[in-house]
Chain A
Amino acid sequence: MADTKFHYNPKTLRYERVKISIFNIIITAVSYLAVGCIFFIGLVLLQNLIIETPSEKKLRAENKALEHHKVLLTSQLWQSNQQLAELKKQDIALYQKLFETKAPSESSPVYPEREELLLAGTSDFNESIEQLGQRFSELIRSAQRSSQQFGAGVHVDKEDVPLLTSIPSVAPVENFEVAKLVSGFGVRINPFHKGQYHHDGVDIASPRGTLVLATAPGRVILVKKSDLVAGYGNYVEVDHGNGYITRYSHLEAISIREGQAVKKGQALGSVGSSGGSIAPHLHYEIIYEGKNVDPVKFIVTGIEAKQYEVLLSNSKKQNQSLD
């Protein structure tokens, strides 16, 4: 072999054949690979720098637009939220002026969206977890309350059935919602002279023309029409027997006659603002054995437990009545 190489060994004083060890081969291979890798990386970078594929171009443009408009939209949304907060304040001010009482605070705190949680940092995340925890214990508490209120066993005797049916247990207007009960039974503020007086019924705000319904079967014992801009205005009284009488006042129109028998849920007339009233509403009273009682305690049929709680707390606010 012409190319065989030797080197001089000073110890043996002889020329010795250079052995090609595995180590040498590996070194050579690694150096090829290393430089090859450098070339590879360089080429990739070069390629990225020079070549732009259509899909990359599209993505790049889209990302740019997404980023740009995200900033714009976020600031627009921020402005809108500022305006919304301003409007909320006005809304609360209006409420306070209208009802002479504090507006209900926003009962449910704002919970973050699932997607927001994904983006949130750990501190935000912990906070959210805490909120969820609170919400959970709230739910537990409310469940316990409900079961206390409604869990008690009820036993009804056969003889009690007519008594039960004569109890005015439903809402006296069509499309009743708990939010419509704007003033309850008890000491309230008179809208005209702003003094306190005893409000003998509940005020249910409803648009003019909303049907007023009998809350239990009975007989109409009084139909009174009055042009006077004070007092009950046009009103109806229904006797349900067993000591229950209901009174529906400030009506716009009355659609029944005195002495007429009415069924539960039958229309008696429509909501108005006759008599001493500042707004279209039904002033509804329940008289049991000659005494006015709190009608909220009777409006129980067709209302969920949670809604009823809202109704009850609404009715306890010492606000302004609609008279």
Chain B
Amino acid sequence: MAKVRYRYNSETCKYEPVIISPRIAGRRLLIFMSISFIMGLCGLLYFNYNFPLIDETLQASRNQKLKTEWTVLYKQLERTSRQLSTLEHNDDKNYRVILDLEPLDQSQREAGVGGHEKESSSIPYPLIRTAYEQADKIKNRLDIEAQSLEQLSNELTRKEKMWASRPAIQPVSNKDLKHLHTIFGLRMHPLLGYVRPHNGLDFTAPQGSPVYATGDGRVDFAQFSTSYGNVVYINHGYHFETRYAHLTNFIVGAGQTVKRGQIIGYVGNTGLSVSAHLHYEVLYKNSPINPINFFQRDLNNKEYEKLIEVGSMATSSLD
């Protein structure tokens, strides 16, 4: 219980208890509140004068943090761009060189950038606008690189087909081969007895040894002829044709597609021939060329050159 307070009344000469009426209490409270309020207000004024507004501070620090995050975003953009550059460099300097295609120049790689008005260009903050520009540029370059890679891939597929079509192996396996007559050019014909061009190479092998297509192609002709005997012509496209003569029999028909290494017939002695052998011709743009240049089995380039020279010397051959 609060102590009762008294006041000395000089008129009555008595101590009288102090009665605090609600009005007085209210007034006191009001005074107390006012003074406190004024103090608070002073504090506020002082604070405003000396420090920025709290909200502003908060926003400013948020701004700072966001800007750091944006710096990171920029770095990420840069990294993506750098990795893309590596791809583009590979594309231009390696693939396009090897596939014999013109490298894309810078203007082609950056085509389409800045053409149409983008909504991002109306953003009033250069930080954001520039990032969009960079991101859009990357997007464009990616699309162009995607197209380019597709082109390269198509070109490679086309070339692979071309390489696969090229006569590139021996038509008779080394294990069947008894002797390779590397005579190409004019020579005395063993049966006819006069000089006429020998337009191919002779592979001596036992009758019935398999004869392989030397490149991918389509059989143009598979028939018996009096001079060639049973003969197969393969059209390889890209100006190449190969002929396989004096076969015992052939197992492919005209119009059939063949793969390199596929057996097309067997070594024989049909037509103008004195013993079992394969007469093999390679034609480029319809003229016969030395087949020695179109296979390479355990041969290094030096021996290869030697064979070409030997092949050009005219001596006797088998057909």
Contact = CB atoms under 8 A, between A and B. Distances in A.
Nearest to A208: B100
B139 interface: yes
Contact of A48 (B54, B73, B87, B123): B54
Contacts of A31: 32
Interface residues of B, number: 95
B195 interface: no
A77 B77 contact: yes
A200 B76 contact: no
Interface string B276-293: 000000001000011001
Of all A-B residue pairs in the complex, the 10 with the closest CB atoms, nearest first, are: A39-B40, A230-B293, A36-B39, A192-B168, A35-B36, A193-B168, A59-B59, A40-B40, A40-B43, A279-B98
B156 A67 contact: no
B135 A73 contact: yes
B83 interface: yes
A198 B40 contact: no
30 contacts: A6-B5, A7-B4, A8-B15, A15-B6, A32-B39, A39-B39, A41-B40, A48-B55, A52-B55, A53-B56, A56-B56, A63-B62, A77-B76, A84-B84, A84-B87, A87-B142, A87-B145, A90-B149, A97-B160, A113-B79, A115-B71, A192-B164, A193-B168, A193-B296, A197-B296, A208-B100, A229-B284, A230-B293, A231-B301, A322-B98
Nearest to B103: A207
Nearest to B46: A40
B260 interface: yes
Interface string A15-42: 1001000000000000111011111111
Interface of B: 3-8, 15, 18, 32-33, 35-37, 39-41, 43-44, 47-48, 53-56, 59-60, 62-63, 66-73, 75-77, 79-80, 83-84, 87, 90-91, 93-95, 97-100, 103, 123, 125, 127-128, 131-132, 135, 138-139, 142, 145-146, 149, 152-153, 156, 159-160, 163-164, 166, 168-169, 215, 260, 284, 289-290, 293-302, 304-305, 308
Interface of A: 3-8, 15, 18, 31-33, 35-44, 47-48, 51-53, 55-56, 59-60, 62-63, 65-67, 69-70, 73-74, 76-77, 80-81, 83-84, 86-88, 90-91, 93-94, 97-98, 110, 113, 115-116, 118-119, 177, 179-180, 182, 190-193, 195, 197-198, 200, 205-208, 228-232, 273, 276, 278-281, 292, 322
B103 to A, nearest CB: 8
A87 B146 contact: yes
A205 B36 contact: no
Given A97-B160, A231-B308, A67 B301 contact: no
A94 B63 contact: no
B71 A230 contact: no
A231 B305 contact: yes
A38 B44 CA distance: 11
A66 B168 CA distance: 63
Given A36-B43, A37-B40, A42-B40, 19 more contacts: A7-B4, A43-B44, A44-B47, A48-B53, A62-B63, A62-B125, A66-B63, A69-B131, A70-B66, A70-B73, A74-B73, A77-B77, A86-B146, A94-B153, A98-B99, A113-B72, A113-B76, A280-B100, A322-B98
The main secondary structure of chain B at its interface with chain A is: helix
Given A37-B40, A76-B139, A279 B163 contact: no
A153 B91 CA distance: 42
Given A8-B6, A87-B149, A66 B70 contact: yes
A32 B35 contact: yes
A190 B296 contact: yes
B97 A280 contact: yes
A15 B13 CA distance: 13
Given A6-B8, A279-B100, A60 B156 contact: no
Contacts of B135: 73, 76-77, 80
B73 A38 contact: no
Given A8-B6, A32-B35, A231-B293, A84 B83 contact: yes
A192 B7 contact: no
B72 A98 contact: no
Nearest to B294: A230
A110 B80 CA distance: 11
